Structure 1
């Protein structure tokens, strides 16, 4: 009897769910029609299809509908939001939105939703304007897929909006988007259990910027021509894997107060502050780790940075192994008086890191150097404390001091030690590497990030 009643209940629930789709209407709209009037008349489940043309105004969606277009452009005429979503389960597909407002205080965006931001899908859209591209706030189970967002690089970086901003969101997927010339590409704040994957972010300030967000995955993204490829701050339980950053001015990855996170299989190349932007202490850092700890840093590739990796402000408890450091002007800058062992025992096998300037040997052929690698000495620390003395770095007196320190280890100050340095670099599993593109002439041109 109970089973029969349950089946009856399920039948009526299914019937009620199917009613909106059974009564759904398809609206064919031209640029001569009043799009807002049609949106006001729609019911849940309707499809609104825009025919080619330009639709002027600021449009509001109050029903769970699908809005799509074929060569259709929404022109907000320089004010407000291009499209304001006030309903759940809305799909926006293949629209071009331009010329929305430039008021950052009002959070002007091409597509904006801060109410009932649940089940929203935004895909295949082209957005071009001064401030925020997509802003979603306070919801879950959303998808932002395969959109192109272009900001205005004639404005100061601080005066632009972010390409995609999600705030207080859960279970949201941001995948396959191309974002350029905005302030930051992807900005995530106070959000949990989201996935950012296979996005391309370039010619902006920070490629991907995280604040106060837990249990997120940042996978196989690609950043180039930035001040910082990735800026991760005040977050925990992050999986940061398979990402690439190239041609950054200040940081490949900026890691600030990140704990209990995994940082693996990432590629960082060409982090160098341009000569015309140089000030004392501003050096391009492949990895800058500040006040962070209790995480794993494994199998990453850091190449051609002014400083390969810089740890400071109490960063400790980080398991570091399997990483590759190639041709960085300074491989490691570690500001502390504690000894740090940068190798790990994994499944009974000791693993260190690969250092392009390691001059040891491997007599037993096990793939690991027989002599530990110590990237820094007391002389390095002296130059860190007094950077204005860098011009003396290769002077005969300094070379003599380094030699004396090597001959008399008792004079060494504590620092980083890799007891099992690798003789060959590790292979990277990332499927995002596009070095040939980034090394092309057109992508090496100077870009304004200020």
Structure 2
């Protein structure tokens, strides 16, 4: 075995240290802060990989193209203003960071995807944070940029265009691993729109005054967590998607739907709150094998509208409170909405619990034959208080076999679950 003498050990260590500096020292030395005093695009072209371009207060002309892994850092009063055509900032490099900027002035053509910030496929791992992105057609378009992060931005869309002509606050296409979190999004068409993607996370966003707060299309294995939708047409729309987790979100004063499923399968909907009177707290259309548990559904015209052959859905532990119609289901099949001895809480269920186990002594049926008649023939409302209808209601209560099928909760809860303390918001 060869043994190094002490002076030889020192020489070897020196060689290793020199090699380290040769391999890594140049990059560290090259990375520097650049204070821009002239044209911003020229400074970006002259910057080296890893540089930080620091901007003082003022207005800088766009459009800008970033083709190197650099950062643009602004403080108060830094405005990047586009020409009104195309994108304001286009990113075609990984490792880019944009922070502390006000970005405005994109083009207005959806055909060319005009955006405040456009992250191309090359923009892997780009970070867009702490910006104000105002009055652009699309706020941030994550177009195939894997692992991109859009975080803590204020995004305001257009108000001077018809809804179908507007762009989305954040739009994601085929960008696995992209994260959209902590943003405040208002106006435009949809708050966050994603299509043909997977493994995305949308969390802690506040979205208001748009069409859909979060809109999923053909996107799988993703999470929507702790977002707030306020005053939108629809809160959370999950369409043609599978294995999505919808957890801890709130729909407040949305107008049409709190949560919508359309051809959505194997979705988990847990611990969400829909309050403030949309037409339907949850609408389920042709969606199968979903788990809908421990949600608060309150103050809607319809608690859950369930239709179009949806099968094998697990709906338990939810609180249906003060909905004008708790459930609307037009069908002849029996649907059991309890599992392992635990059903849902129904505010209109006048029942007893003689053994004190927290479960009603009687099963609960939210609908009867007269409901189905009225849904099929609305003009029949004129006969609601007629002797014939009253006789029909009595017969159904005395002879349950007369029920035509529908939702049954065999283990209705007597109290609202503790984690759903509720008051009108």
Q: Does 1:22 align with 2:43?
A: no
Q: Does 1:339 align with 2:345?
A: no
**What residue is the counterpart of 2:186 in the other structure?**
180
- 1:162: how far off? 0.4
Q: Which of 345, 350, 359 is matched with 1:359 structurally?
A: 350
RMSD: 2.2
Distance 1:343 1:402 in 2: 24
Distance 1:176 1:285 in 2: 27
- 1:22: how far off? 2.6
Distance 2:19 2:214 in 1: 46
In 2 relative to 1, CA 168–380 (structure 1 residues): closer, same or farther, beyond 3 Å?
A: same
**What residue is the counterpart of 1:368 in the other structure?**
359
- 1:131: how far off? 1.0
Contact residue 40 and residue 61 of structure 2 kept, 8 A: no
Contact residue 132 and residue 161 of structure 1 kept, 8 A: yes
**What residue is the counterpart of 2:315 in the other structure?**
320
**What residue is the counterpart of 1:93 in the other structure?**
99
Distance 1:324 1:173 in 2: 31
**What residue is the counterpart of 1:105 in the other structure?**
111
Distance 1:10 1:194 in 2: 42
**What residue is the counterpart of 1:44 in the other structure?**
49
**What residue is the counterpart of 2:257 in the other structure?**
251
Distance 2:114 2:53 in 1: 24
Secondary structure, in 3 states, of the residue corresponding to 2:389?
helix
In 2 relative to 1, CA 76–389 (structure 1 residues): closer, same or farther, beyond 3 Å?
A: farther
Secondary structure, in 3 states, of the residue corresponding to 2:367?
coil
- 1:113: how far off? 1.8
- 1:117: how far off? 2.5
Distance 1:82 1:396 in 2: 69
Q: Within 5 Å, give how 1:376-387 maps onto structure 2.
A: 376-387=367-378
Unaligned runs of 5+ in 1: 2-7, 273-283, 440-450
Which sits farther off after the overlay, 195-204 or 18-27? Answer: 18-27
Secondary structure, in 3 states, of the residue corresponding to 1:190?
strand
**What residue is the counterpart of 1:73 in the other structure?**
79
Distance 2:420 2:224 in 1: 15
Q: Higher RCO, 1 or 2 (CA under 8 Å, sep at least 6)?
A: 1
Secondary structure, in 3 states, of the residue corresponding to 2:240?
strand
- Give the TM-score, by structure 1 length: 0.87
Distance 1:162 1:231 in 2: 14
Distance 1:82 1:10 in 2: 45
In 2 relative to 1, CA 362–14 (structure 1 residues): closer, same or farther, beyond 3 Å?
A: farther
Unaligned runs of 5+ in 2: 2-14
Distance 1:380 1:17 in 2: 74
- 1:104: how far off? 1.1
What is the aligned residue count?
411
**What residue is the counterpart of 1:278 in the other structure?**
none
Secondary structure, in 3 states, of the residue corresponding to 1:428?
helix
Distance 2:420 2:44 in 1: 47
Contact residue 119 and residue 145 of structure 2 kept, 8 A: no
In 2 relative to 1, CA 429–413 (structure 1 residues): closer, same or farther, beyond 3 Å?
A: closer
Contact residue 81 and residue 109 of structure 1 kept, 8 A: yes
- 1:172: how far off? 1.5
Contact residue 326 and residue 355 of structure 1 kept, 8 A: yes
Q: Which of 282, 298, 302 is matched with 1:303 structurally?
A: 298
